[in-house]
Amino acid sequence: ADHKYVEFDFLINGQFLRVPLVTHIEMENISTEEVVEIEYVEKYMAPQPEECIFHDDWISSVQATEEWILTGCYDQTARIWSLEGKPVMTVAGHTEVVKDVAWVKQDSLSCLLLSASMDQTVLLWEWNVEKNKVKALHCCRGHAGSVDSIAVDCTRTKFCSGSWDKMLKIWSAVPTDEEDEMEEAANRPRKKQKTEQLGLTRTPLATLSGHTEAVSSVLWSDAEEICSASWDHTIKLWDAETGDLKSTLTGNKVFNSVSYSPLCRRLASGSTDRHIRLWDPRSKDGSLVLLSLTSHTGWVTSVKWSPTHEHQLISGSLDNIVKLWDTRSCKAPLYDLAAHEDKVLCVDWTEAGLLLSGGADNKLYCYRYPATASDVGA
């Protein structure tokens, strides 16, 4: 026989069919007089667990690329791992807990990466892949509180950081020439030895103020647009060039994390209640929640959209579960990944179809999820 068994999933009007057809039609008030179109898609298979990487302390953040996984840990280091789970490099240098990490650039020779920490600095590192050596290029000082979140823009020349001092700062991510800096630096008396080892001090290009409470999460939604979520229950959109506030989305609860998907142009936010909310960043100054996904039983600490599929996202929460959602089925997630034994602090989704989640049980779990192309035509 040449056939194989394939499972299908059905959609009516963009909503997944999860209950018997009659119940669904009654609930959605679809008239039975009209023709009801049922779309069928191949059922999304469950993510297959691949790796479990053990760390020494809580994992605060994770970002993965095609070849490497970068994690930030509460033991004041950031670590680089291969996709098979082998430790490659330990990036130590911070004097406090590392709260967020990000890749800036990758070549086959060297990579640039960032780590933000509770010691109020962001360090720009250069990692030489061949020699497997890491060096701190710049130490970005300027924040007056723990830096909780960083995001690199699409041109990979700038990055933005949000911190407990209620400010957002934009910095340059391009490593400047050492010689120029070194000459200047030689003229100034060196106060602390540590700045030498940690690279040269860098000051921010711009500071965006407007939040009345700590900023918990930042991202670049466009080439010159920054989106920041804060403890003052608002999500603000800024113009990176001028530094002006463009619009504000107001909610009821502290926002823990936001994620933007250019495919569906929606923002997903995780808050200190159990819901994940979808917002339209283009709406003018409102508090209009488009969709609310409820299934977690604790705070949602992190959310991430799929880079390939416009309807899928994952969320991690304090109830130890990572959930994979499809926004077309808003009543229940597609899959629950309950592998963690303690709070889930960070999640990530790579283009290649790898799901990662790190938590307070010191473990980083990787899942393989076949990247299905989105249904929207090219």
Partner 1 sequence: QDIRNTVGNIPMEWYQDFPHIGYNLDGKKIYKPIRTKDELDMFLEKMENPDYWRTVQDKMTGADIKLTDEQVDLVHRLQKGQFGDVHFDPYEPAVDFFTHEVMIHPVTNRPADKRSFIPSLIEKEKVRARGSAVMAGEKHLEGGSCWARGTWQDRGGGAWVSRGPDPRPLRPQKLAWEQQEPAERKLNFVPQQYRCLRAVPAYSRFIHERFERCLDLYLCPRQRKMRVNVDPEDLIPKLPKPRDLQPFPTTQALVYRGHGSLVRCLSVSPSGQWLVSGSDDCTVRFWEVCTARCMKTLPVGGVVKSVAWNPNPTICLVAICVEQSVLLVNPCLGDKLLYGATDQLLESYVAPEEERVQPVQWVTATTEEHSRGVRLVVQHSKAVKQVTWHGKGDYFASVVSDNSNMQVLIHQSSKRWSQNPFRKSKGLVQCVLFHPIRPYFFVATQRYVRVYNLLKQELTKKLMTNCKWVSSMAIHPGGDNIICGSYDSKLAWFDLDLSTRPYQLLRHHKKALRSVAFHRHYPLFASGSDDGTVIVCHGMVYNDLLQNPLLVPVKVLKGHVLTLDLGVLDVLFHPTQPWVFSSGADGTVRLYT
Q: Note the residues at the interface with partner 1 (CB under 8 A).
A: 58, 74, 97, 119-120, 144-146, 164-165, 213-214, 216, 231, 252-254, 256, 272-273, 298-299, 318, 343, 345, 360
- Closest contact distance (angstroms) between CB of 212 and partner 1 is 9
The sign one gets for the Cα dihedral 209, 279, 352, 100 is positive
> 343 or 368: whose CB is closer to partner 1?
343
| CB 275 to partner 1: min, Å | 13
> Which is nearer to partner 1, 16 or 58 (by Cβ)?
58
172/272 with CB nearer partner 1 = 272
- Nearest one of 8, 71, 6 to 38, comparing CA atoms: 8
Minimum CB separation from partner 1 for residue 94, in Å?
A: 13
E strand or H helix that includes residue 30: none
Q: 236: how many CB neighbours lie within 10 A of its CB?
A: 22
Least Å from the CB of residue 63 to partner 1? 19
* Choice between 75 and 181, CB closer to partner 1: 75
Report d(CA 365, CA 354) in Å as an integer: 10
Residue 146: CB minimum distance to partner 1, A = 7
Q: Least separation, in Å, of the C-beta of 145 and partner 1? A: 6
CA-CA-CA-CA torsion sign (341, 309, 303, 64): positive
Q: Which residue's CB is nearer to partner 1, number 216 or number 259? A: 216
Q: What HEC string does 262-314 produce?
A: CCCCEEEEEECCCEEEEECCCCCCCCCCCEEEECCCCCEEEEEECCCCCCEEE
Residue 334: other Cβ atoms inside 10 A: 20
Q: Minimum distance from CB of 140 to partner 1 (Å)? A: 14
Q: Is 229 or 240 the residue whose CB approaches partner 1 more closely? A: 229
Distance of CA 289 to the CA centre of its chain: 20
Distance CA 114, CA 368 (A): 26
266-271 and 255-261 strand pairing: antiparallel
**The two structure tokens encoding residue 345:** 């602090």
Closest CA to 153 of 54, 205, 223, 103: 223
Q: 167 or 237, CB closer to partner 1?
A: 167
Q: Cα 362 from chain centroid?
A: 19
- Which is nearer to partner 1, 237 or 318 (by Cβ)? 318
Q: Decide if 344 contacts 356 (C-beta within 8 A).
A: no
- Between 246 and 343, whose beta carbon lies closer to partner 1? 343
274 token code pair: 């159990």
Give the whole-angstrom CA distance, residue 308 versus residue 324.
14
Q: How far apart are CA 11 and CA 37, in angstroms?
A: 9
